[in-house]
A and B are shown apart, each in its own frame.
Chain A
Amino acid sequence: MSEKQKEEFIKPKITSAHDYRAYFRQALDASKRQPFTDFQIAAFVTVIAGIVRLYKIWEPTSVVFDEVHFGKFAGKYINHTYFFDVHPPLAKLLIAGVGSVAGYDGLFDFNNIGDDYLAPAVPYVSMRLFCGILGLLTIPMSYITVKASGHSTAAALVAATLVCFENGFVANNRLILLDSPLLFFISFTIMAWMKFSDPRLQPFSFQWKIWLFLTGLGLGCSISSKWVGLFTIATVGCSTIKGLWDIWGDLSVSPSGFGRHFINRVLYLIIVPILIYIFAFGVHFTALPLSGDGDTHMSPAFQQTLKGNEAPATRADVAYNSIISIRHLKTNGGYLHSHSSRYETGSEQQQITLYSFRDDNNLWKIRKGGEDQVENADELEWVKNGDIIRLEHVSTSPIMLHSHDHRPPVTEEEYHNEVSGYGFKDYEGDANDYWRVEIVDHSSSSPAAGERLQALRSVFRLIHINEGCTLFSHSVKLPKWAFDQQEVTCIKGGTMPKTQWYIEQNDHPLLNETAELVSYENPGFFKKFLELNKVMWTSNAGLVDSHPYDSRPPSWPILQRGISMWSQDEKQIYLLGNPLIYWGSTWAIFSYLIVRGVLILRQQRGYSDKIGIAGRYFQDSIGFYVAGWTFHFLPFLLMGRQLFLHHYMPALYFGILGFAAVFDLLTKNLRSTKKILATTVLIAVIVGVFMVYAPITYGTTWTRDDCLRSKVMDKWDYSCDTYLDRNPLKPIITEAPSIHLQEESAHLEVVSANDKDMNVETKSESPMQPTPSAPMDEHSGEFGDEEDGDDEWYRLNRPGDPEEEEEEEDEDDEEDDEDDEEE
């Protein structure tokens, strides 16, 4: 290493003072004079990185943290069953591809953290290797990036070392998670962008276009892996605008020349990423043709494009005495539903809810409403726009859809009326059962659907005659006594979109075989694409549950707390960064901002700080990395959703590059021996600190004392009680109980005592889970963990008595439902 640095670039002497890019150019040329080429150094760095990043990648041999999700998703791709996730598909597709090639059959279900991989023979090592290799490639790329932006080899090596020995990157990037593909793509993008920004490149040359294209490719892949890629787009976008502004101001470039610059950037930096993003979704839909547990997130029209979920064609024309099911248009709440349970508030009449699965309790019979109106049983009479109808609930007949001046159970607002089922034998009902049909929209292919009700084609409102309110539903859950189903009310005033309904199933005894059938229109790729993105957006914003290891963004730059990702026996993996790197990068960023601020202030006051050409060069270079850090960090402050330390990783990557640039600035005027010394010391310290925290990074053995000593901050809550007192020469490979005994005895020292009986018990059993280190996956209970029963139940189409229904309820409230069932 020292050899390489002897040939540091000599302080350049530039005559054309107005062009600080010349400094840049000269700096880049300097690396030609070093004994090893950049390629050789990068290769060397890659080898080191390989050792650090892939060390014992097969351990732990069980599911770690969010492998729960992303392993599961890989399985879904392999089984082709539809699932829903808030992240775009590219990275998951890649992982699934690797899993598929490695022979994963998609049967292992990744249900819990700590589930064993070995017995079911899951090819998890290949999948982890894939992520690990993508992760380690960021290390040579960071070297090249810093080099390409004109900094010294020493600075580039510092950047590579920091990325390599960052405990958080190591712990996270070797697992089956989306972060390492994301980081890889971001790092690739920035490298390509730096290469593109090389002042020696001739505009519009082949190389120039290649690097511009690769930047676009990287952007496209980043955004297709996680939406964090948007921040990378913002970073590169602002840099592009600045570049274009400079070109526009350069009067030697003709307007048409500027036009070419502009068009090229639009093409490669906007069009290319969009195409990649759309393509990724194209592959996603193609890979998932079968119905699966993600169905319920999607609209009915979307669902029926999935095999095993096709809605049967139904009769188009709706007449009086038709048996219909009515579906709510703007929420995925499902069908207008009733069952023989009563409200516990308001009128205490029969409940009316929205229920998301097909079921006989969703069936209603259309009858005539209004005084003295009787429907003719022998004749087909269409239900026309403006008709007054009654809806009779088929399975609890003669219950009718009813509304009156009571407040609904949850939305106790003045302008909402309760909707209930009302009626009893030999009672014809009253005027509060009358609803007026108002068709608000109909499919353009069938003009008749605007005049009279047609299944699937007419979108209508039901207006209550007496109260003048409109049948309405919104994603508000009823209390447990209504099985957490969705609330239905009658809302006064307003024509909200959530008052719209349509008929999905329709049958009439008098309609013969030849009557017109209608089924959902296939939405086509773009509609599906837009819908999925919309649902991803709302679900993402809806991830607001609290999690034991979530954290707020202000705690990240100072590394206040980590995440427990896995723990078993006397080992654990705890996502904690290399504190020196976290603090160092934060320090570099804020020093830059402060120094820059002071300089601007002084300039305004007329002090001439001659920062010179080199100064302006550094200002721009560090400025770019700081901007990247800002773009990847600040938006999180505005996000309400649940956040984790690993969301800081892209920002940290920029922070590290910024740190390297600041290091370069500080050592710029040092003599080469001193510079080598500084670099070596810095690298040694970083590696040393890395080694201290390596046990919780790799999940290897540690001693309790070392563990306790390593806790520099109180809030780092990895459990030291997990570890043995002394480092045993050999790890104890015996039954779990003896290990646990150790854990217990360790425990005895801090906490006064544990029940003796308990110790005896635990000896014969597997270890009691120590609480402080129990890991939880990121979105526990959020999505994807539905009961298997859902699909099965759906096919059986059992009549929905409420006791069973709630078991099958929407997965969001699955846990709550389980409890109710027992009541």
Chain B
Amino acid sequence: MTDTAVRKRHTGPAQSKKPVAVKEEEDLKKASQHAQSIKGVRLGDSRDKISLLVFTALALLMRWIYIGFPSEVVFDEVHFGKFLGHYLKHAYFFDVHPPLAKLTLTAAGKLIGYDGHFDFASIGDNYIENRVPHVFLRSVPATFGALCVPIVYLIMRDSGYNYLTCLFTTTMYLFDNALVGQSRLILLDSQLIFYMLCTIYSYVRFSKARHQEFSAEWYTWLLATGVSMAMTLSVKMVGLFIVAAVGLATISDLWSLMDVRRGLELTHVAKHFYARAVALIIVPTFVYLFWFWIHFSILDTSGPGDNFMSAAFQATLKGNPLTEQAIKVYYNDSITIQHRDTENFLFSWDKTYPLRYDDGRISSKGHQVSANSDPNDEGNIWQVLQTGDDISGQLTPVRHGDIIQLRHVKTDRLLMTHDVASPLLPTNTEFTTAEEGDEEKYEDTLFELRFDVLDLGRQLQSQMIHFQLIHVPTGVSMFSQTKKWPEWGVFKHDVNGNKKIIDRANRWIVKDVIGREPGEDKDEEGTKVDSMSFLHKFLELQSKMLSENNKLVAEHPYMSTPISWLVPTKGISYWHNPVSKGQIYLAGNVVGWVLGLASIAIYCGIGLADIVAQRRGFDLIDEPVRRRFQYSGGFLALLYALHYLPFYVMGRALFLHHYLPAVTVLYMLMGAVFEFMFIEGTTSPASNLVRNESEMKNHRPKVAANISTMRSMLTKTSYIAAAIIVIAQIGFFMWMVPLTYGTNMGSEMVKLHQIFGWELHFAK
């Protein structure tokens, strides 16, 4: 494949190797011809308008048709429908995705007067019975999905591809089952792809305007790139890939601007740099933050997402149970202390450690301090003592950073630790108790309270505040684990001093304050809602989103590996109904995806072959063709790589629909490869043509001739190839229609569709 393609290039432009004098004359002639035909190349042509119109109409039709069916909850509508309800009820929820797409859906819901009463509990729940305006809600993602189609056309057209290539690419893209299916449901992906395409389009327009630097047009498209990039990121974190792609393209762009042969002053380059920094870093940051600001403004009431957040955050939510149940802790209060992870209570009694353990090590023979699983044991009670000189009277609140002592109420001794190996972990220190008033051990009984970063300013409260107990002299942190002590320790759980302060397992909470009930001290401050700065909230949520995203590793029946996406050997069963015998199965158009894969192979093969050949001094490809192939094709290849390869290093559970942004790019790359293979030459960058035209106008034909220009030539092969591929694509699309739209299928038909071992449902 590669070889023939290269050879074909080689034979094509033989006329360009003619003697210089003749060439110059020819070039002049050619240049004037170009000037004549430029109008046909630029966008705004009536055929473009018609194409756009037809594609948009078709795309809308394909998505809107039958959109109310099934009138049941399908796949992840479970989640996003739920979130929509939470937004409408202002109840705080947690999701790993940024808010924009969900906010759009919420706006739509609000518009039609949906109040969020339905809980989207499980797949298959009926919408009509539950009075959910699902048709309207679904039409929002469907519209976004449909609008992707004309943008694909625009991107190809503005990148300078032949009209046929644009038609070819857009048609291929239009008839992809996975993209159609995914955008007909209440899901986020169609918005993601829409904004991603907007970014690409803006960047293409920006690149086209590069010869009118700092013009209004230039600024507009630069800014549009930044904003749509931020919008992509605000839909899903996958938007980071488009940010990376634009970033890399910008760096390479700046690098070539810096090239001394460009002859630009450094200050001039700096101006370029600043413009990009503002438009591509600062503006997007604000756009991204803005959606979170909206998010927090809407979700001001306590809800199902409370538990994901820190106590300080939860306290900002109206009606949150924490503020209502928490009891403030003052010095001399008696409390029980619970280990956060194991939920055991800090405990002591008058049993002592055995002098010598089984492995021959020696203990301090002090009182045992362990963790107790019985919440009602009297040995769990500790009294918080104030230390230092300024011990005041009643009601001194316990705060972060305080140095405290803990008195074990039952044995009347003070908690301490020292440089003695703990029974189970020789690297950790042993906890024991000391007699009150033992001067020698006074230092060892001092502990510093350390709260979670976000709760620093607050008073110690039961239930709410996670803290660590850091031993002052040795700096170890009190730690407990599920391991139990042997017989001498009556199988209590291990407690010891951990040198790794940042360990998550070092966190404790106050469970109960003895003799006080929640709400007693309410009159002091009331249950007013705390405030927290937006930036703090944002940072907390953001870090939580990232960490929770990595935790999505649970085995799911339809999860798949990135390698299985290339040829869609495994899809996702979204919905099925045994009664109506319909099912929705997400899988790509095999024709398009396989050809896409082939395009990648061809692109890489030709690119590599060209580089290797050039190294040996062979110049097989015309310069304008090569530039188009390298720059436009290269940008698409980069986009594809960035939207696909990172999934290989992701630990989380992956699904086929994660591949859809990459597929979108893949179709455009397929167009680029199509043009390279089946269309002679290429239309030179429009900017060249424009320059050429203006030079001609200024009567400087020689200069114009130096600007390398070329027009693409359609041959019969071009039409035949395009026709065959497009027919195959549409044919396969039609064949898969029942699986995409969920229409009725007999079991014979299901069997027919079970290719690659797709896991389809057979009605019983």
A→B interface (CB under 8 Å): 112, 245, 248-249, 251, 255, 411, 413-415, 474, 491-496, 498, 546, 548, 601, 604-606, 638, 640, 717, 721, 747, 751-755, 757-758, 761-762, 765-772, 774, 776, 815-816, 819, 822-823
**CB-defined contacts of B649 to chain A, threshold 8 Å:** 638
8 further interface pairs, Cβ-Cβ under 8 Å (given A248-B612, A413-B556, A415-B556): A248-B616, A249-B615, A493-B557, A606-B261, A752-B442, A771-B420, A774-B427, A819-B483
The distance in angstroms between the C-alpha atoms of A815 and B486, with both chains bound, is 12
The distance in angstroms between the C-alpha atoms of A769 and B364, with both chains bound, is 11
The distance in angstroms between the C-alpha atoms of A495 and B260, with both chains bound, is 60
Q: Could you say which of A248, A251, A751, A765 contacts B355, with CB atoms under 8 Å apart? A: A765
**CB-defined contacts of A816 to chain B, threshold 8 Å:** 482-483
Give the interface residue-count category, chain B: 35 or more
The distance in angstroms between the C-alpha atoms of A395 and B441, with both chains bound, is 59
22 contacts between A and B (CB under 8 A): A248-B612, A413-B556, A492-B557, A548-B500, A604-B260, A605-B266, A752-B442, A752-B443, A753-B444, A755-B366, A761-B355, A761-B365, A762-B362, A766-B362, A768-B420, A770-B421, A772-B419, A774-B426, A819-B484, A819-B491, A822-B484, A823-B491
- Whether the Cβ atoms of B361 and A771 lie closer than 8 Å is no
Chain A's nearest CB lies how many Å from the CB of B350?
A: 16
Shortest 6 CB-CB distances between A and B: which pairs?
A494-B557, A606-B260, A753-B440, A768-B362, A774-B426, A819-B484
B 249-270 to A, binary, CB cutoff 8 A, 1 in contact else 0 = 0000001001111000010000
**CB-defined contacts of B444 to chain A, threshold 8 Å:** 751-753
Q: Would you call B759 an interface residue if the criterion is a C-beta within 8 Å of the partner chain's C-beta atoms?
A: yes
Q: Could you say which of A604, A771, A822 contacts B426, with CB atoms under 8 Å apart? A: A771
Chain B's nearest CB lies how many Å from the CB of A253?
A: 10
Chain A's nearest CB lies how many Å from the CB of B480?
A: 14
- Whether the Cβ atoms of A605 and B440 lie closer than 8 Å is no
Chain A's nearest CB lies how many Å from the CB of B420?
A: 6
The distance in angstroms between the C-alpha atoms of A721 and B484, with both chains bound, is 30
Chain B's nearest CB lies how many Å from the CB of A257?
A: 12
Centre residue among B427, B473, B482, B617 by max chain A CB count within 10 A: B427
- Whether the Cβ atoms of B364 and A758 lie closer than 8 Å is yes
- Whether the Cβ atoms of A752 and B440 lie closer than 8 Å is yes
- Whether the Cβ atoms of B419 and A747 lie closer than 8 Å is yes
Q: Would you call B462 an interface residue if the criterion is a C-beta within 8 Å of the partner chain's C-beta atoms?
A: no
B 473-501 to A, binary, CB cutoff 8 A, 1 in contact else 0 = 11000000011101100010000000110
Q: Nearest A residue to B366 by beta-carbon distance?
A: A755
- Whether the Cβ atoms of A496 and B266 lie closer than 8 Å is no
Chain B's nearest CB lies how many Å from the CB of A686?
A: 31
**CB-defined contacts of A774 to chain B, threshold 8 Å:** 421, 426-427
**CB-defined contacts of B487 to chain A, threshold 8 Å:** 822
Centre residue among B259, B419, B422, B500 by max chain A CB count within 10 A: B419
**CB-defined contacts of A771 to chain B, threshold 8 Å:** 419-422, 426-429
Q: Would you call B757 an interface residue if the criterion is a C-beta within 8 Å of the partner chain's C-beta atoms?
A: yes
Q: Nearest A residue to B426 by beta-carbon distance?
A: A774
Q: Nearest A residue to B505 by beta-carbon distance?
A: A546
- Whether the Cβ atoms of A769 and B418 lie closer than 8 Å is no
Q: Would you call B558 an interface residue if the criterion is a C-beta within 8 Å of the partner chain's C-beta atoms?
A: yes
The distance in angstroms between the C-alpha atoms of A601 and B122, with both chains bound, is 58
Chain A's nearest CB lies how many Å from the CB of B215?
A: 26
Chain A's nearest CB lies how many Å from the CB of B560?
A: 10
**CB-defined contacts of B420 to chain A, threshold 8 Å:** 768-769, 771
B 356-374 to A, binary, CB cutoff 8 A, 1 in contact else 0 = 1001111111100000000
The distance in angstroms between the C-alpha atoms of A758 and B444, with both chains bound, is 16
- Whether the Cβ atoms of B255 and A494 lie closer than 8 Å is no
Chain A's nearest CB lies how many Å from the CB of B619?
A: 14
**CB-defined contacts of B360 to chain A, threshold 8 Å:** 766
The distance in angstroms between the C-alpha atoms of A512 and B484, with both chains bound, is 52
Q: Would you call B555 an interface residue if the criterion is a C-beta within 8 Å of the partner chain's C-beta atoms?
A: yes
Chain B's nearest CB lies how many Å from the CB of A766?
A: 6
Q: Nearest B residue to A752 by beta-carbon distance?
A: B443
The distance in angstroms between the C-alpha atoms of A823 and B355, with both chains bound, is 24
The distance in angstroms between the C-alpha atoms of A546 and B498, with both chains bound, is 12
Chain B's nearest CB lies how many Å from the CB of A10?
A: 36
The distance in angstroms between the C-alpha atoms of A717 and B501, with both chains bound, is 14
**CB-defined contacts of A112 to chain B, threshold 8 Å:** 359
Q: Would you call B554 an interface residue if the criterion is a C-beta within 8 Å of the partner chain's C-beta atoms?
A: yes
**CB-defined contacts of B524 to chain A, threshold 8 Å:** none
Q: Could you say which of B427, B443, B503, B557 contacts A415, with CB atoms under 8 Å apart? A: B557
**CB-defined contacts of B364 to chain A, threshold 8 Å:** 754-755, 758, 768
The distance in angstroms between the C-alpha atoms of A754 and B362, with both chains bound, is 14
Q: Would you call B729 an interface residue if the criterion is a C-beta within 8 Å of the partner chain's C-beta atoms?
A: no
Q: Would you call B344 an interface residue if the criterion is a C-beta within 8 Å of the partner chain's C-beta atoms?
A: no
**CB-defined contacts of B260 to chain A, threshold 8 Å:** 604-606
Chain A's nearest CB lies how many Å from the CB of B496?
A: 9
The distance in angstroms between the C-alpha atoms of A713 and B258, with both chains bound, is 43
Given contacts A415-B557, A768-B421, contact A251 B427 (CB under 8 A): no
- Whether the Cβ atoms of B759 and A494 lie closer than 8 Å is yes
**CB-defined contacts of A491 to chain B, threshold 8 Å:** 555, 557
- Whether the Cβ atoms of A546 and B555 lie closer than 8 Å is no
B residues 213-262 with Cβ under 8 Å of A?
A: 255, 258-261
The distance in angstroms between the C-alpha atoms of A636 and B260, with both chains bound, is 38
The distance in angstroms between the C-alpha atoms of A776 and B474, with both chains bound, is 20
- Whether the Cβ atoms of B473 and A751 lie closer than 8 Å is yes
Q: Would you call B573 an interface residue if the criterion is a C-beta within 8 Å of the partner chain's C-beta atoms?
A: yes
B residues 707-737 with Cβ under 8 Å of A?
A: none
- Whether the Cβ atoms of A751 and B418 lie closer than 8 Å is yes
Given contacts A248-B612, A755-B364, A768-B362, contact A496 B421 (CB under 8 A): no
The distance in angstroms between the C-alpha atoms of A496 and B442, with both chains bound, is 61
